Amino acid sequence: MTDAALSAPAVRRSFPLGRLLWPALLVVTIVLVNLPNGALPAWMTKYPAAWQIPTAAWISTFMRWLMEVASFGLFTVRDLFRAVAWVLDLPLAAAKAVLAEGIGWGRGADAVTIAPAIPWFSALIAGVAAAYKVGGARLAALIGAGLLYLAVFGQWAGAMVTLSSVLVSSALGAVGGLLIGLACVRWRWAERAVSPMLDLAQTMPVFAYLLPMLILFGFGPVSAMIATIVYAMPPMVRVTIIAIRAVPDEIRELGAMTGCTRRQLTWKMLVPSALPALMVGVNQVIMLSLNVVIIASMIGAGGLGFDVLSALRALKIGEGLEAGLAITVLAILLDRFAQALAVKTGRPPERDEQTARRKRSALQAAFMLAGALWILAAIVPDIARYPDALKLSTAPYWSDLVRWINVTFNATLDAIRTFAFLNLLAPAKRFALALPWAWVVALVVIAGLRLGGWRLGLGLGALALAIATTGLWQVAMLTVYLCGVAVVVACLIGVPVGVAAATRPRLWRAVETVIDLLQTLPSFVYLIPIVMLFRVGDFTALIAIVLYAVAPAIRYAAHGVARVPPTLIEAATMTGCTRRQILTRVRVPLALPEILLGINQTIMLALSMLVITALVGTRDLGQETYSALAKADVGKGLVAGLCVAFIAIIADRLVSAAAAKMKRRRGLGA
Amino acid sequence: MLHQLTRAMTAGLVALAMAGTTGAATAAPESKDPIKVTLHDWTGQLITARIMGETLKKAGYNVDYVQADYLAQFAGMRTGDLHVAMEVWATTAKEAMDEAIAAGGVENVGETGMQAIEDWWFPEYMKEKCPGLPDWKALKECAEVFSTPETAPKGRYLGGPVTWGGYDEERVAALDLPFEVVHAGTDAAMFAELQSAYDRKAPILLWIYAPHWAPIKFKGEWIKFPPYEKACYEDPAWGVNKDAKYDCAKPRGPIYKAVWQGMKDKWPGAYKAVKAYTFDNKEIGELAAKVDLEGQKVEAVVDDWMAKNEDRWKKWIQ
């Protein structure tokens, strides 16, 4: 009785407030946006120039000092970085020599070659054999088909350059990520220091730190590789932390009881028992490395990325697509291989001694054959080249296809574009630019406060305020507008597709193939045809962002709906729900937290596409980082990059907090 | 069997090693360190850079080609990471180069002999829809022909990437043109739009530069603005608009070569060769067309040119 009496007024007091808060905020926002000019004090609508903090100039000055003046006495900072670059170049040069350029020493006229790069047929045999050992006949067939594609479509040379840099950067990224992760597990302070860095590295556009890399490590493939590692390593660190912490206590205790030293405990017990989970991180590192192949090629990584770029620059859409698909093929091959490796490490070795031995000798024979053919190719170099006569290309058809669509459906395309512009993009843009910055900061604080408490609200508010102090508020709002619209569209498409596919396995397989392709195909490949059909402008950028960012919306929605406990479905069936009712009343509501996480990922991917859409002339933060790169303005690039990172972090924390809150409320556990 | 194989291998290795060294230098270069020649993202530049690089190789130098951003390269040249930039267009990168020269580390080694044109360009079929072209005053009447929903009622002009500069917004204001400048992010996007519009005979007005394959492949003309004079960019009183600068065409200008300052001392011979190198618009345009329109590889086109023009490049390395 007393309990009820105490809690009743509390409920009554907070209930209407919570309900009314969001509509009230919405009304205030709309009123503020529609206020006539001059109704608000000027400092509220436009952030005063006098309050800006010249962070960009400070960073540029610091960078100049670092590279031109700073010294440790015996050697300068510059020497140090160059030495690091030299060391990192060694494995890269070695991998390139074996896969792409031939083994030897000296350069130019003095070059001595002792062996050519591994010829395609040797690589094919060795690749298939290794695949068979790791993953059986199916994987072997897949690897064989993939490598054949590269040879038949004339992508071999470029693919090997890309492969060597991806292999080296993945290896360095995986090892580095593992070490950092282990350090984080051992020392709390390390984790506290590393965690915000990971957030930044994952959300900052690559363009923003390309330039500092170039200045520190010099122009060339090494800088591209280091940028790739920075981009690809964070998931490995995170996976390591989680995987090592998840190792059962029994194993730790066993280690302690058997008298392991700390080092033995880590490397002989913890890492091996976490290995299957760690391989997931390795897989992510490989995928992300392939993601930045195009951007890395802009600063000298060469390979397939450069082939895609130069083909598209000459408007050879077909050639660009074929080179782009070669990147996808590499991604699939490496992904499946790494996954098979992960499965294999968790599996006991072959029991049947005889089969094992037979397998082993077959493998040895295959590797010997590959080696012998390599030697043969060294003696007779002509056979190492894939014959031109046997090359295929579908390139001409693609250009013709785009031209045909362009000429035939122009009226329809134009109507779609105009409609989207007038009814969606233009109003959204006007709205975003009319929002007073002070109100946006306040909104962020209120949202953080409601969803996650004081600390979240104030922390995120500080980030939003930081964006204003850089003087990039307008550009930042353009970013929010473009990404916001893209995320809304992506969710409107993605969530229903995901929900529909979740309970239909065959549809799901088709959908999964499409989104896998969209995520691994370099977006530049489809960006240029979209420009041809829809012209340069925000609409083109919107389509490109939606295509790339729709995948997680679909994936998480499908996953969430499929994961609803079967007991609940049974209960619903028994109470006489129709299929439709089960979907709308049971599956979707229960999957909502999962769907929210999908939306969160969609936001992250949309923001990461900014860099690419800058190439078709959007005027947002992506463009700022891109033009800073071209103007060699380190400070401007980093500051714009940080703004993107801040927007991403604000969105991420808010959505995650909302999802966690929702989960709690639905009793699904935190 | 194994013995024979080893012998065959040794023979092969020796043969390879020999093949590697026979092409050795005729004159000893001053330093064996590789000279780094920058590559950018347009075909003409790839060809000029490669012709220079191959010539230096013939003189016995070691050459590395490095992909570098057009404007960002000066940061690398100042520190000596990069050594030779073969195309610095007066129209787009003069300021960046002068800045780098002033800061130290970079040297302008003269003109390539090519002349850069960068201006507003339209395809020939637009003359039907806007009869006054190519005179710039016709644009005032025909803005509607060039307009799109985003820019209506103004016309749409597709400018280059923001990084190219060019003062197009200022030009539009100074000449009071009813146009809006839309920036393409890359030249790939720009030419994609041109190709698309050209296929449909749709209206388009955009920034084109020469030497490039586009004005060879597509029929069209440059808008005739009041010709550029230095005063136009510096003195508002000059020209049609008495209160504004930039009321004229963009400057047409030479394409310079730039090198790292230390090159003179480290590779004097190569430095002289870079200085001596000349080319003209037509020749480079034709070579670029071979790559972009006929689909040949840059390397093949350059090798072919090197074989046919021995007397030309020999003179540079004398």
At residue A617, the pLDDT reads 78
Task: Specify the DSSP element, H or E, that contains A397.
Answer: helix A395-408
Domain B117-234: give its CATH architecture.
Answer: 3-Layer(aba) Sandwich (3.40)
What's residue A17's pLDDT? 59
pLDDT surpassing 50 at residue A640: yes
Helix and strand numbers (H, E) in chain B are 15, 9
Total Cβ atoms within 10 A of residue A263: 8
Spatial separation of the C-alpha atoms in residues A300 and A161, rounded to whole Å: 12
Place of tokens 């669509």: A405
Contact A314 B292 (CB under 8 A): yes
Residue A667's domain spans which residues? Answer: 484-619+647-670
CATH number at residue A576: 1.10.3720.10
Smallest Cβ–Cβ distance between A531 and the set B76, B193, B199 belongs to B193
What does the pLDDT look like over B126-149, one tens digit per residue?
999 888 888 998 898 888 889 888
Place of tokens 């002070």: A438
Is B117:B214 a contact under the CB 8 Å cutoff?
Answer: no
Token pair, residue A337, equals 């291989």
Q: Is A378 on the interface with B (CB under 8 A)?
A: yes
Q: Mean of the per-residue pLDDT values for chain B?
A: 84
pLDDT in tens, A464-484: 999 999 888 988 999 999 999
Determine, for residues B193 and A302 on separate chains, whether the beta-carbon distance falls below 8 Å.
no
Inter-chain residue contact B20 with A111, CB threshold 8 Å: yes
**Identity at A207, one-letter amino acid code:** F
Q: Which ranges constitute the DSSP H helices of A53-155? A: 55-68, 77-96, 120-152
Contact B255, B115 (CB under 8 A): yes
Residue boundaries of the structural domains of chain B:
28-115+253-316, 117-234
The radius of gyration of chain B's CA atoms, rounded to the nearest angstrom, is: 24
Interatomic CA distance for residues B61 and B54, integer angstroms: 9
Asked if A295 contacts A375 with a C-beta cutoff of 8 angstroms, the reply is no
Q: What are phi and psi of A299, to 5 degrees?
A: -115, 30
Handedness of CA B244, B250, B253, B255 (dihedral sign): positive
Closest residue in B to A396 (Cα–Cα)? B295
d(CA B96, CA B90): 10
Q: Using CA atoms, how far apart are residues A241 and A263, in angstroms rounded to an integer?
A: 17
Determine the average pLDDT of the residues in A300-322.
84
Judge: B57–A615 Cβ closer than 8 Å, yes or no. Answer: no
Q: Is the dihedral of CA B180, A207, B47, A395 positive or negative?
A: negative
Q: Tell me, what's the pLDDT at A169?
A: 92
Examine residue A496 and state whether it is found in any structural domain, yes or no. Answer: yes
Mark which residues 513-542 of A lie under 8 Å from B by CB: 527-529, 531-533, 535-537
- The alpha carbon of residue B114 is apart from the nearest alpha carbon of chain A, in Å, by 21
CB pair distance less than 8 Å for B149 and A422:
yes
Helices H, strands E: what count in chain A?
32, 2
Identify the residue with better confidence: B241 or A491.
A491
What would the pLDDT profile of A440-452 be if each residue is shown by its tens digit?
A: 999 999 999 988 8
User: Is residue A128 included in any domain, yes or no?
Assistant: no
CB B65 within 8 A of CB B71: no
What confidence tens digit (pLDDT) does each residue in A152-183 have? 988 888 899 999 999 999 999 999 999 999 99
For position B84, what pLDDT does the model report? 93
- Asked if A252 contacts A221 with a C-beta cutoff of 8 angstroms, the reply is no
d(CA A283, CA A289): 10
pLDDT digits (tens, 9 = 90+) for A519-549: 888 888 888 888 888 888 889 999 999 999 9
CA distance linking residue A523 with residue A546, whole number of Å: 11
Average pLDDT of chain A to the nearest whole number: 84
pLDDT at position B307, please? 92
User: Is the pLDDT score of A585 beyond 50?
Assistant: yes
Q: Does B150 contact A527 at a Cβ distance shorter than 8 Å? A: no
Average of per-residue pLDDT across B92-112 = 87
Distance separating alpha carbons of residues A622 and A637, to the nearest angstrom: 9
Pick the CATH number of B28-115+253-316 from 3.40.47.10, 3.30.497.10, 3.10.105.10, 3.40.190.10: 3.40.190.10
DSSP string, B192-258: HHHHHHHHHT----EEEEESSSHHHHS-EEE-BPSPP-HHHHH-TTSSS-TT-S--SPPPPEEEEEE
| Out of B8, B20, B73, closest to residue A113 by CB | B20
**What string of DSSP letters covers A166-215?**
HHHHHHHHHHHHHHHHHHHHH-HHHHHHHHHHHHHHHHS-HHHHHHHHHH
Tell me the pLDDT band of A66, cut-offs 50, 70 and 90: confident
Let me know if residue A227 belongs to a domain: no
Identify from A61, A107, A209, A219 which residue to disrupt to test chain B contact, counting B C-beta atoms within 10 A and taking the largest count.
A219
Helical segments of A218-248, H only: 221-232, 234-245
> pLDDT class for A398, splitting at 50, 70, 90?
confident
Least CB–CB distance from B184: residue in A214, A410, A616: A616
Q: Closest chain B residue to A211 measured between Cα atoms?
A: B72
**Predicted pLDDT at A16:** 54
In a domain, A593, yes or no: yes
Confidence class for position B206, pLDDT limits 50, 70, 90? very high
Nearest to B67 among A300, A313, A632 (CB): A300
Count other C-beta atoms under 10 Å from residue B254's C-beta. 17
Cα A240 from chain centroid (whole Å): 18
Q: Does A76 touch chain B (CB under 8 A)?
A: no
Comparing CB atoms, the residue among B61, B72, B158 nearest residue A108 is: B61
Residue A514 lies in a domain: yes
φ, ψ of residue A39 in degrees (nearest 5): -75, -30
The answer to whether the B28-115+253-316 and B117-234 domains have the same CATH topology is yes
Domain count, chain A: 1
pLDDT at B22: 38
The 3 state secondary structure assigned to A546-559 is HHHHHHHHHHHHHH
HEC-encoded secondary structure of A312-323:
HHCCCHHHHHHH
pLDDT digits (tens, 9 = 90+) for A264-289: 888 888 888 888 788 888 888 888 88
Helix (H/G/I), strand (E/B), else coil: A103: strand
Count A/B contacts: CB-CB distance under 8 Å: 186
Q: How far is B67 from A298, CA to CA, in rounded Å?
A: 7
Spatial distance between the Cα atoms of A527 and A514, rounded to a whole number of angstroms: 17
